[in-house]
């Protein structure tokens, strides 16, 4: 829903279409506060940050010599996501330029999609020795020797309109063509029983914990990673503020219908009309519960009596 529609509906609840009671700036502030409330109350913004992506550029690490007409080959997508867009990935392509027989630049013609650890090879009938390294779009990865991963550092570029992660439900790690979910421990238990060896023991993490709450939280992993691994976080997020009608709304329907009720509640609090404020809070609570029931119907796990 565009920002103007949110404002218009909130002003209708206030009977303030002429903006005599509250300024537009106040209404915008209440709408964005209400959007964060709805996102957290209903957990309607849920996503998995990317663990593969595209090649944004290539950096020449060695120019080589004797090149006249080099050809750049890029490996096929090594981790396609299986989603609606390019489920099998998309092949990347690149071309090289030569100065004085040495490769001085590699330009990506197509960045491709579904890459985790691609490699580039530069070949030429007369030249040798040139190498280039790919630079990837941000991915959610475990890094060697790194135990702590702040929520604020997780890439959310695949989710327009999402501001930050405020909670993580589960974490899965990809290892040896297998995806497994890490066991969760409270940080008190993690501190006391799990992370006993700070640096000596490194392997594939199997346990995770959370320290801190909300957008300031961090995830801890043990054993400390021995190399780079992909990790999938099942995340709940809050949206970016809407600043105009071109801002991306990350809250999906039907939850957008609930936002003006909580915005009106906040506005009536400012106006010191506590009865109306409580009335709209009650309406908001009822609608949030009803919409949760509508969107999350029960389902049988199996029709045949076995897992």
Indicate whether 71 belongs to any domain.
yes
Residue 64 to residues 69, 112, 126, 130, 146, Cα–Cα distance (Å) = 13, 26, 11, 4, 35
Q: Same domain for 23 and 90?
A: no
The domain boundary, picked from 79, 103, 136, lies at: 136
pLDDT at 198: 85
* CB neighbourhood size of 108 (10 A): 20
pLDDT of residue 78 exceeding 90: yes
pLDDT at 307: 61
Average pLDDT over residues 163-168: 97
pLDDT of residue 306 exceeding 80: no
Q: Are strands 224-225 and 202-203 parallel, antiparallel or unpaired?
A: parallel
List the 218-222 sheet strands across, edge first: 148-150, 218-222, 207-211, 183-184
Average pLDDT over residues 108-119: 95
Q: Same domain for 183 and 232?
A: yes
Average pLDDT over residues 162-167: 97
| pLDDT band (50, 70, 90) for residue 62 | very high
19 or 227, higher pLDDT: 227
Average pLDDT over residues 206-223: 97
Residue 172 backbone phi and psi in degrees, to 5: -120, 145
d(CA 273, CA 13): 13
Handedness of CA 159, 182, 207, 77 (dihedral sign): negative
SS (H, E, C) 215-273: HHCEEEEECEECCCEEEEEEEEEEECCCCCCCCCCCCCCCHHHHHHHHHHHHHHHHCCC
pLDDT at 290: 94
Q: Same domain for 203 and 264?
A: no
| pLDDT band (50, 70, 90) for residue 64 | very high
pLDDT of residue 57 exceeding 70: yes
Q: Are strands 229-239 and 46-47 parallel, antiparallel or unpaired?
A: antiparallel
Q: Same domain for 154 and 229?
A: yes
Spatial neighbors of 248 by CB under 8 A, at least 6 apart, are 160, 161, 240
Average pLDDT over residues 173-178: 93
pLDDT tens digits, one per residue of 129-147? 999 999 999 999 999 999 9
Handedness of CA 173, 80, 160, 135 (dihedral sign): positive
Q: Same domain for 171 and 204?
A: yes
- This prediction has a pTM of 0.90
Q: Same domain for 155 and 87?
A: no
pLDDT at 81: 84
d(CA 268, CA 22): 10
Handedness of CA 106, 112, 116, 119 (dihedral sign): negative
The domain boundary, picked from 109, 136, 163, lies at: 136
Domain span at residue 33 reads 3-44+251-295
Q: Residue count of the chain, please give it.
A: 307
Q: Same domain for 157 and 217?
A: yes
Average pLDDT over residues 69-98: 92
Q: Same domain for 131 and 156?
A: no
d(CA 146, CA 33): 35
Q: Same domain for 207 and 167?
A: yes
Q: Which two tokens stand for residue 68?
A: 């006249």
The domain boundary, picked from 136, 163, 185, lies at: 136
CB 225 within 8 A of CB 142: yes
Number of independent structural domains in the chain: 3
Handedness of CA 249, 210, 202, 182 (dihedral sign): negative
């Amino acid at each position: 829903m565009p920002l103007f529609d949110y404002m218009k509906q909130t002003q209708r609840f206030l009977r303030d279409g002429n903006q005599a009671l509250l300024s537009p700036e106040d209404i915008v502030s209440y709408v964005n506060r209400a959007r964060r409330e709805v996102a957290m109350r209903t957990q309607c913004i849920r996503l998995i940050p990317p663990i593969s992506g595209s090649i944004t550029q290539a950096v020449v690490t060695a120019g080589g010599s004797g090149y006249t007409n080099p050809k750049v080959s890029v490996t096929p997508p090594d981790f396609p996501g299986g989603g609606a867009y390019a489920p099998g990935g998309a092949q990347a392509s690149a071309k090289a330029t030569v100065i004085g027989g040495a490769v001085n630049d590699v330009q990506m013609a197509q960045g491709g999609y579904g890459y985790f650890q691609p490699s580039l090879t530069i070949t030429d009938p007369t030249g040798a020795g040139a190498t280039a390294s790919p630079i990837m779009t941000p991915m959610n990865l475990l890094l060697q020797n790194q135990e702590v991963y702040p929520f604020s550092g997780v890439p959310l570029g695949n989710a327009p309109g999402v501001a930050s992660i405020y909670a993580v439900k589960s974490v899965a790690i990809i290892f040896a063509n297998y995806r497994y979910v890490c066991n969760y421990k409270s940080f008190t238990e993690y501190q006391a029983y799990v992370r006993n060896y700070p640096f000596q023991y490194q392997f594939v993490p199997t346990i995770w914990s959370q320290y801190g709450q909300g957008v300031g939280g961090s995830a801890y992993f043990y054993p400390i990673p021995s190399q780079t691994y992909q990790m999938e976080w099942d995340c709940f997020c809050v949206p970016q503020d809407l600043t105009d009608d071109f801002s991306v709304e990350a809250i999906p329907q039907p939850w957008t219908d609930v936002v003006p009720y909580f915005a009106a509640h906040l506005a009536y609090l400012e106006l010191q009309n506590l009865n109306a404020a409580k009335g709209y809070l009650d309406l908001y609570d009822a609608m949030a519960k009803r919409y949760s029931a509508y969107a999350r119907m029960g389902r049988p796990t199996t029709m045949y009596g076995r897992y």
